[in-house]
Structure 1
Amino acid sequence: MTSAAERPVLFLDVDGPLIPFGTSYGPRQATVSGSSASLDQGNPLLDRLAPGIGPRLLALGRRLVWATTWMDDANEAVAPRLGLPKLPVVEWPDACADDSPRGLHWKTRHLVEWADRRPFIWIDDEISAMDRLWVAAQHPGQSLLHRVDRTKGLTDADFSTLTDWLRAAARR
């Protein structure tokens, strides 16, 4: 059984999982006046965020961490629209290692280091088979690398997969 100290971290990417890039999304809707309006200037993609996703992510009961190139801007522009609190942010290095195996995502090593042997879930739209193989060989804890369809974003099926994995991880 997984102890409270080993509860999975959930690394969350923004572009693709939370801001889908499918063709079914129309033009930007009118901006509502208020505090979020200034954050929306220059980024019409924020209208693609589904507000119901935030409570569903929180309901998973895991430590949510931004793993995105949005960095802390995710806390400023994305989190409030989803009803999420300010989350920790993975800080990316200025340069990526040149000795990575071909096909390994540039985030993979850093997320394994950040997890520090703890179980983790990584939600992203760019996860590959190489990432899964590398994590399986290099990370001693449980992990779920969950690739989201960037044209749809997180769906009910994705949440079912996450919930099933968390249930199984709790039994180990």
Structure 2
Amino acid sequence: MREIHVPLVFKAYQDLNEMAIQDKNLMLQAVENRKKAYAPYSRFRVGAALLLENGEIVHGNNQENAAYPSGLCAERVAIFQAGALYPGVKILKIAISATSDDKVVQAPIPPCGGCRQSIAEYEGKQNAPIEIIFMGEEGEVFHSESLKNLLPLVFDKNFL
């Protein structure tokens, strides 16, 4: 038997004001997008903003449904929209912000497993990392240079 250690590296900012201006502006758009989320069941609102290689910014927010699995997370709304509107254009960064109608969310909220897998698919498709920047409603902001920090043993097309 052997142990495998997988190092994970994140930047942690105390708040938005420590970030580079481009990243801060992208996150502020994610914050605005979460305000438009349709979340009557979970009351948990998530906004996303993607920066594409061509300079376009694509927006997303979570969209719930009474048939719960039929909804979609903010990250996937934005990623799939980018794929539909700008096929072949690389995604450089995704900013994600989450809040609750019931409490203040101060911890950085990472993408769920399904969203991680979707981000992994696009990293593989474009053969380039996607930076992931995430926060709650306020407080610390985490920044990862690639999805591999969030999903180090990724399942991808190479296994098929």
Larger Rg: 1
What is the TM-score normalised by the length of structure 1?
Answer: 0.34
Structure whose residues are more often helix by fraction: 1
Please identify which structure carries the higher strand content: 2
Normalised TM-score (structure 2)? 0.36
